[in-house]
Amino acid sequence: MTRKRSMLLLGLAAALVVSMASPAPAHTGNRIEVTRGEFVTLQGGTDLGYTISGKAVMVRLRKATLVGVWVRGLDADTTYPAHVHNAPCSATPPGGSHYQHQVGGPVDAVNEIWPIVTTGSAGRGFGSAWHTHRARPDAMSIVIHYPPDTSIRLACADLS
């Protein structure tokens, strides 16, 4: 494991502990904001026979954003596209569109936040992303997509 990934995992673990201990998002002025949510299986996931659960956390720092996703109920040894979205899970479609740092800019892992999830043999997975910009309040949810057809949204977690 690289030093950068180790530091990211350590930071996300600390943020998750803090977020689980406090009943509301942790705020320290304009420096840090922790939001989190629990994944629910969307209709697309239900239609494909999935029952997905897990947690997501986003840590907004002054000039950076960290995202971590822990999920279960997916296929074993598979990589799932996951993206931060700009609307809540209750929107149509769930999560709205991909959140973009530069709205209308490139559709890539630099302008968007992609905590891609990779599962192990038990169908449990983890994904993370680190960006050198602070996500705006319209970074509202994380959606996990179906790998063979990314238009299918399997699960969603509101970040609050």
pLDDT (tens digit per residue) in 67-101: 999 999 999 999 999 999 999 999 999 999 999 99
Nearest-angstrom CA–CA distance, 108 and 68: 18
Q: How far is CA 96 from CA 15, 74, 126, in A?
A: 26, 22, 23
Task: Give the pLDDT band of residue 18 (cuts 50, 70, 90).
Answer: very low
Bond before 148 cis per omega within 30 degrees: no
Q: Which two tokens stand for residue 92?
A: 């149509």
Per-residue pLDDT of 97-156, as tens digits, reads: 999 999 999 999 999 999 999 999 999 999 999 999 999 999 999 999 999 999 999 999
Which region among 10-19, 55-64, 91-100 has the lowest average model confidence (pLDDT)?
Answer: 10-19
Domains and their CATH numbers in the chain: 3-13+30-158 (2.60.40.200)
Amino acid type, 14: A
